Amino acid sequence: MCSGTIPVTKTPGIQRRRKSRFGCRNCKLRKVKCDELRPCCVKCQIYGVICNFGFNVPDFQSLPEERTKKNVLKQFTIPSPQSSIGNCIWVADGATFYMLNTHDQDLFNRFQCRTLHSLGGPEIVEIHNRHLLALSFKHPFLWHGMLAVTAVHDRYLGITPTHRRSFCETYHWSQCTSLFKKSLGQPIKEEHKDPIWAAASTLGILGFASINACPLEETWPLGPPDPSDLEWLRLAAGKMRLWQLVDPLRETSIFTPMADTFVTMHESMPIEGINGVLVELRQLCMLEETSTAYNNPYFRVAQGLSELLAVPVGQATLGKAMKFSTKIRGEFKILLERKDPIALTLLYLWYTRACECRWWIDIRATYEIPAIRTYLQRYYQDWGHVQKLLPRVDIGSL
């Protein structure tokens, strides 16, 4: 069961631990007691870096990580490392205090060893290990976000014996959201910009991935209207508004290693015409040489989707995938909320390729791909341009 927010009490008379004289450099730099287990100490394994007793390994070099479910699950055949971090971990921002219990510490270990490496490339791991981990002790919403994402990842991998949101997942997501909103109510100082962007990104992942498993007929767009329908779109829109405030590409940002991904997501596109748009999408969206974003609501989305579908299967990048989502706004967003058949088909096609990129996209695509296909086959069976795209699995063949 997850612990709540409780007041801090001082504990006098804590005995000073003997410093390790023969520990690895990583532990010395982190100022933690190395267990001196060679060739790789437990502390480095938990932290997610290659141990460096010798001088031939750089400081804080990330462990290589396979992304397949099979290899991720294999590492959990070893004993739980819960006892390797302290019995009591506190995080505080001056107004809010939170203590991680044993279950939270287990979640944190899995985040460091597994989930962190599944969120992006080496640059994500580097940003977390060099900056965000330390910042999380000052900003509890970052801790709650890490634990919530790990709980969702457990569910995706089948470690949690349920496909519905767990209490712990819901609790940490709620706490992350509540504390994050409170921080946005204060003036945003320079030192707060990076934690805010990290939290916004985490909430974006949670909004996308934290979907309750439910029968096909209850899944959007087949199911009855629900306030959470397309909530991930609203969170994405809010995140983009924060972009202007915190500018993760500014010179002092810790996120500059991700500049290439950000640039791909937001790079400019043709303002008119059908150059680069796949023939099937031109027909579906009724695009012509004179089409623009002003006279055709599908224009931008069709362009972004065409770029993604043109990438060979299995080689789609997160930047290419999320470029599509940045175009879902304005009239197109309204059409999607109204379950417009063309808008739904474009979203369906995006899911079939974006799910290759990250597990947190795949978890939603698993439920909404069959629901969208069933909805369109049931209510728009006479729409030829829609129906001929639905059965496709290898969308790269378009």
In this model, does residue 72 exceed pLDDT 70? no
Provide the mean pLDDT of the chain.
82
State the pLDDT at residue 324: 83
| Residue 246 sits in the same domain as residue 343 | no
Domain count of the fold of the chain? 2
Q: Of 263, 283, 308, which residue sits at a domain end?
A: 263
Q: 161: pLDDT confidence band, cut at 50, 70 and 90?
A: low
State the pLDDT at residue 131: 96
| Residue 256 sits in the same domain as residue 276 | no
State the pLDDT at residue 4: 43
Q: Of 231, 263, 295, which residue sits at a domain end?
A: 263
For residues 370 and 374, give the distance between their C-alpha atoms in angstroms, rounded to a whole number: 6
Do the Cβ atoms of 281 and 321 come closer than 8 Å? no
Percent of the chain at pLDDT above 70? 81
Give a yes or no: residue 197 inside a domain: yes
| Residue 257 sits in the same domain as residue 119 | yes
| Residue 115 sits in the same domain as residue 237 | yes
| Residue 357 sits in the same domain as residue 232 | no
State the pLDDT at residue 27: 82
In this model, does residue 20 exceed pLDDT 90? no
| Residue 392 sits in the same domain as residue 319 | yes
Domain that holds residue 329: 270-397
Average pLDDT over residues 302-310: 93
- DSSP string over 166-188: -HHHHHHHHHHHHHHHHHHTS--
Q: 135: pLDDT confidence band, cut at 50, 70 and 90?
A: very high
- For 230, list phi and psi in degrees, rounded to 5: 55, 25
Q: Which of 202-206, 208-212, 345-349 has the lowest mean pLDDT?
A: 208-212
> 395: which 2 tokens?
């969308």
| Residue 259 sits in the same domain as residue 295 | no
Q: Of 235, 263, 291, which residue sits at a domain end?
A: 263
Of 148, 150, 137, 247, the residue nearest 196 (C-alpha): 247
In this model, does residue 387 exceed pLDDT 60? yes
State the pLDDT at residue 93: 59
Contacts 24+ apart (CB under 8 A), 333-336: 333/233, 333/237, 335/297, 336/230, 336/233
Average pLDDT over residues 339-365: 94
The alpha carbon of residue 83 and the mean position of all alpha carbons in its chain are separated, in whole angstroms, by 28
Do the Cβ atoms of 328 and 336 come closer than 8 Å? yes
SS (H, E, C) 48-88: CECCCCCCCCCCCCECCCCCCHHHHHHHHHCCCCHHHCCCC
In this model, does residue 77 exceed pLDDT 80? no
| Residue 164 sits in the same domain as residue 118 | yes
In this model, does residue 395 exceed pLDDT 60? no
Say whether 92 sits in a helix, a strand or coil: strand
State the pLDDT at residue 92: 53
| Residue 160 sits in the same domain as residue 226 | yes
Measure CA of the first residue to CA of the last residue in the chain; give whole Å: 49
Give a yes or no: residue 50 inside a domain: no
State the pLDDT at residue 300: 94
Say whether 282 sits in a helix, a strand or coil: helix
Average pLDDT over residues 203-229: 88
- Render pLDDT for 246-267 as a digit per residue (tens, 0 to 9): 999 999 999 999 988 888 887 7
Q: Which of 109-118, 239-248, 250-259, 342-351 has the lowest mean pLDDT?
A: 239-248
Contacts 24+ apart (CB under 8 A), 99-104: 99/3, 99/6, 100/3, 100/143, 101/1, 101/2, 101/3, 103/1, 103/2, 103/168, 104/2, 104/3, 104/147
For residue 207, which amino acid is it? G
Q: Which of 10-19, 112-121, 234-243, 346-355 has the lowest mean pLDDT?
A: 10-19
State the pLDDT at residue 237: 80
Say whether 296 sits in a helix, a strand or coil: coil
Question: Strands 89-92 and 97-100, how do they pair?
Answer: antiparallel
Q: Which residue has the higher pLDDT, 93 or 381?
A: 381
In this model, does residue 283 exceed pLDDT 60? yes
Average pLDDT over residues 293-320: 92
> 60: which 2 tokens?
């804080």
Q: 11: pLDDT confidence band, cut at 50, 70 and 90?
A: very low
